[in-house]
C-alpha cells in the first residue's frame, strides 16, 4: 500500500448496515467491499468510503 492510498476504518462496521435488509455487514479487505450475505450483495469501498447504494452494489455469485 502506498502513502496515498486510503484505508477503510473497520470501526465503521459497527455503525453500518445493509440498506436493503438492515442487517450487519462483513468486510472483505482483499476486494475492498462490504458484504451483505442476507441481501447477497457486495457494496464497494472507494477511497476508504463505503458506497452504501443498492444500485452500486455487486450481486454475489
pLDDT of 39 reads: 98
Tell me: pLDDT of 47 over 60: yes
pLDDT of 5 reads: 62
Tell me: pLDDT of 1 over 60: no
Question: CA dist 7 to 12, 26, 39, 45, Å?
Answer: 12, 16, 25, 9
pLDDT of 55 reads: 98
Tell me: pLDDT of 24 over 60: yes
Q: Which residue has the higher pLDDT, 21 or 5?
A: 21
Tell me: pLDDT of 3 over 60: no
Amino acid at each position: 500500500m502506498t502513502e496515498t492510498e486510503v484505508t477503510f476504518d473497520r470501526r465503521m462496521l459497527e455503525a453500518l448496515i445493509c440498506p436493503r435488509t438492515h442487517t450487519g455487514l462483513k468486510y472483505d479487505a482483499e476486494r475492498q467491499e462490504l458484504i451483505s450475505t442476507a441481501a447477497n450483495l457486495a457494496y464497494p469501498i472507494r477511497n476508504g468510503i463505503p458506497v452504501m447504494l443498492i444500485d452500486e452494489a455487486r450481486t454475489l455469485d
